[in-house]
Structure 1
Amino acid sequence: MSLEIPRPVDPSLHPLVTGNYRIATPAIEAFYELVVRCLRYRIMGALIYGPSRIGKTRAIEYVRLLLARNYPRMTSYHAQCEHKPRHAEGPFFANLLEAVGDPDPNAGSNPSKRMRLTLRIRQAASIGGSGVVLLFCDEAQRYDDNEYEWLRDVHDALDRQQIKLFTFLVGQQELLAQKTAMQVAGKTQIVARLMVEELAFYGIRNAQDVATCLNGYDQTAYPEGSQWSFTRFYVPQAFDAGYRLVSDADTLWNAFETAHHKANLPGKLGIPMESFARAVEIVLKDSELNDARGYCPDQVLWDHAVRHCGYVQSRHATGRVLVAAS
C-alpha cells in the first residue's frame, strides 16, 4: 500500500495539505505575460478584471513568485484595498504603508504617511538596484477618484526620484466601468498613468485549460528539485507505472460540466481556481488509500470531488455568472 512507501517529507507538511502552493492556469500565464510586457515597454499601469471568486488573488501571489524568481532585483508589493465607508487620505496611505511593510502604518499625519510611503518604496528600489517597484492593488474597484489621484501623486513623486512604480489594478468588472467613466470625464492623466493596458481574467474554460493545470500537479515537485511530483507523492505506485492526472482532463471537465448543468447554473462554464484545486486535492487524498500499479481514479471519484469542491455552492451563494472568455 502506498502509505507504507517512505516519503521524502512528513505528509502533514506537504503543500497540498497546507494549501501553500500555486498552479499556473492559462489566465495566470496571460497575467504574467502582461506584467512582463508592461515592464519591457515601460507601461506604468494596467487593469486586470474579472468576476469575484475566480482566483485573481491567487494569481497575484503566483505572478509575484515568478517575478521574484525571474527578476530578483525588482521588489513587488501586494496591497489589499479595503472597503471603507468614506474615502479619506489617512486610511488610504496607511493601507499602502502596511503593504510595503511599515511597522506602524497608522502613525503620523497624512503628509508624513505619504513621505514615508515614497521613502520605503525608494529604499526597496535602491536595495534591489533596479530602480523598479511593482504594486499589485487587489480589489481595486473599491478605490474612488481621489484615491486614484493620490496613487498618481505617489507615481509622480517617485518618478522625480528616477524610480519607476508599475501599478497593476486587480479587481472586478467595475474596474473597466471606472476607466470608461474617467475617460468620459476627461481624467485622462489617471488613465494614462494607471490604466493603460487591460486584461480580462477568466476561470478554467475548457478541457485544454484543465489539462494545463493538471499537468502542473504532475510536474511540480516537492521538495523542490526532487523526483516527488505532487501526483507521485500521493499515488507513487500508479505514477511509477505511468499514471498522470493530465490523462483525466476530459473526465474532470465533463464532471464540472455535468454539475454546472444539473444545478441549472446560468452562462458558460468557467471553473474558479479555488474549486478546481479543491477537487484535485480530494481526488489525490482519496486515491492515496487505493494506490497500486495500474490504479487510476474512476469517474465516480471525480464526480464526488466536483460535488464537494464548493463550485455549485459558491455559484449559488454569489448568484454571479462566471463569464468564460471565448
Structure 2
Amino acid sequence: MSIHIPRPVDPALHPLATGNYRIATPAIEAFYELVVRCLRYRIMGALIFGPSRIGKTRAIEYVRLLLARNFPKMTSYHAQCEHKPRHAEGPFFANLLEAVGDPDPNAGSNPSKRMRLALRIREAAARAGSGTVMLFCDEAQRYNENEYEWLRDVHDALDRQQIKLFTFLVGQQELLSQKTGLQVAGKTQIVARLMVEELSFYGIRNAEDVATCLDGYDRTAWPEGSAWSFTRFYVPQAFDAGYRLVSDADLLWHAFEAAHHKANLPGQLEIPMESFARVVEIVLKESELRDAPGYSPDQALWAYAVHHCGYVQSRHATGRVLVAAA
C-alpha cells in the first residue's frame, strides 16, 4: 500500500529541479586534489585539459564550492575566457575585472584596469582574511602568448603586495600544445609560473565511476543536515524500504553502452557529466510518480532516460572521438 510521506520543502525549490547542484566524479575529485596539492606546495599554476563538453566547467564550480567549505578564508574566482578576434590588453583585463566583481569592468585606460584588478583582488583577500587567491580560467586555450604574459604581470603585481595568486588554466587539449610551444620558444617564465602541473580531465569511464556518482545522490542531503538525500526526496517510500540509486550502476552503464554502440559512435564510451546528471534527473522525476515500497527503476526507464539525455546527439554534433587515456 502506497503511503504519502510529506516532504520538508517545496519540490520546485529542490536543487535537482533548479539544476543548482554538483555531484563529484572521480575526475572532479582528482581536480580538487590537484588544487589542494598546489596550495600545499605553493605551485602557482596548473593546466587541466580535456575534450569539450566533458564537464570541466561544472568541475570548476564543484571545486570552488569545496574550497569555500574547506578553506573559508581563501578567495576564488571563475573567469570565462572569451573568444576574441583581436587579442588586446583592454578586453583581457575587462574580462578579469568582470570575474572579480568589478562594477564597471570596461571603464578606464588599460593601466587603470590593471591597477583596479589588483585592488579588487587585494580588497577581497583582506575581507576574507587570507593572502591566498585562486583564479580558474575556463576555456583558457583561447589565450595567446601576450595574454599569458599579462596574467604573469598580475601575479607579479599581487606578489609585491604579499598576495599569492594561484592560477588554474582549464580548457581543451590545445592547452598542452600551447605549453609545449612556449617551452620550445624558450618562454620558460610563463610555463614556470602558470603551467607547472598538468591534469588530464575525463568523463565517466566505467560502472565503478557511475557507482561513485550515483552514491552522491544517495548521500547528498537537501536541506543540508536533514535526512532527505536527493534519492529519498524523490522516492521516499522506495528509499525507506532500502532502494539506493547506486545499486543500479551496472544498469545505467549498460544503457549508455547500448546507446553508444547502437549509434555507431567511435572511441570508447566516456560519459560527460551533463549527460549523466540529466539521466539521473529524468529517472528520479519519472520515479516520483511510481514511488512505493519495493519500487526500483527498471531497465526500460534507464534506457529511456539515456535516449533523452542528449548524449548521442551531442556526440554527433561535435563529431568528437573520446579516447580514454591508457
- What's 2:297 paired with? 297
Counterparts in 2 of 1:20-39, with a 5 A limit? Answer: 20-39=20-39
Q: Write the deviation string for residues 77-135 of structure 1: whole angstroms up to 9, x where unpaired.
A: 00000000000000000000000000000000000000000111111112222200000
- What's 2:11 paired with? 11
1:236 aligns with 2:236: yes
Q: 1:3 to 1:175 in 2, by over 3 A?
A: farther
TM-score of the two chains, using structure 2 as the length reference? 0.99
What is the alpha-carbon distance in structure 1 between the residues aligned to residue 324 and residue 247 of structure 2?
A: 23
- CA contact 1:93–1:110 (8 Å) conserved in 2: yes
Counterparts in 2 of 1:14-93, with a 5 A limit? Answer: 14-93=14-93
Describe the SS at the equivalent of 1:270: coil
- What's 1:309 paired with? 309
| 1:147 positional shift | 0.2
| 1:3 positional shift | 8.9
Counterparts in 2 of 1:160-171, with a 5 A limit? Answer: 160-171=160-171
Q: Which of structure 1's runs of 4+ aligned residues deviate more than 3 A? A: 1-4
Counterparts in 2 of 1:142-157, with a 5 A limit? Answer: 142-157=142-157
- CA contact 1:137–1:169 (8 Å) conserved in 2: yes
Could you list the runs of 5+ residues in structure 2 that have no partner in the other structure? none
Q: 1:261 to 1:92 in 2, by over 3 A?
A: same
What is the alpha-carbon distance in structure 1 between the residues aligned to residue 140 and residue 20 of structure 2?
A: 24
Q: Write the deviation string for residues 229-252 of structure 1: whole angstroms up to 9, x where unpaired.
A: 000001101000000000000010
- What's 2:94 paired with? 94
Give, as a single letter, the amino acid of the residue that structure 1 aligns with 2:35. V
| 1:2 positional shift | 6.8
| 1:5 positional shift | 2.5
What is the alpha-carbon distance in structure 2 between the residues aligned to residue 324 and residue 277 of structure 1?
A: 20
- What's 1:199 paired with? 199
Give, as a single letter, the amino acid of the residue that structure 2 aligns with 1:15. P
Q: Write the deviation string for residues 274-304 of structure 1: whole angstroms up to 9, x where unpaired.
A: 0000001111011111111111100000000
1:118 aligns with 2:153: no
What is the alpha-carbon distance in structure 2 between the residues aligned to residue 223 and residue 2 of structure 1?
A: 24
Q: Write the deviation string for residues 199-254 of structure 1: whole angstroms up to 9, x where unpaired.
A: 00000000000000000000001111000000000110100000000000001000
Counterparts in 2 of 1:209-220, with a 5 A limit? Answer: 209-220=209-220
- CA contact 2:202–2:270 (8 Å) conserved in 1: yes
- CA contact 2:218–2:246 (8 Å) conserved in 1: yes
Describe the SS at the equivalent of 1:86: coil
Q: Write the deviation string for residues 24-80 of structure 1: whole angstroms up to 9, x where unpaired.
A: 000000000000000000000000000000100000000000000000000000000
Describe the SS at the equivalent of 2:210: helix
TM-score of the two chains, using structure 1 as the length reference? 0.99
What is the alpha-carbon distance in structure 2 between the residues aligned to residue 322 and residue 162 of structure 1?
A: 43
What is the alpha-carbon distance in structure 2 between the residues aligned to residue 240 and residue 190 of structure 1?
A: 55
- CA contact 2:218–2:232 (8 Å) conserved in 1: yes
Q: 1:3 to 1:177 in 2, by over 3 A?
A: farther
Aligned length: 326
What is the alpha-carbon distance in structure 2 between the residues aligned to residue 270 and residue 2 of structure 1?
A: 38
- What's 2:319 paired with? 319
What is the alpha-carbon distance in structure 2 between the residues aligned to residue 303 and residue 222 of structure 1?
A: 27
- What's 1:288 paired with? 288
What is the alpha-carbon distance in structure 2 between the residues aligned to residue 97 and residue 214 of structure 1?
A: 38
> Percentage identity across aligned positions?
88
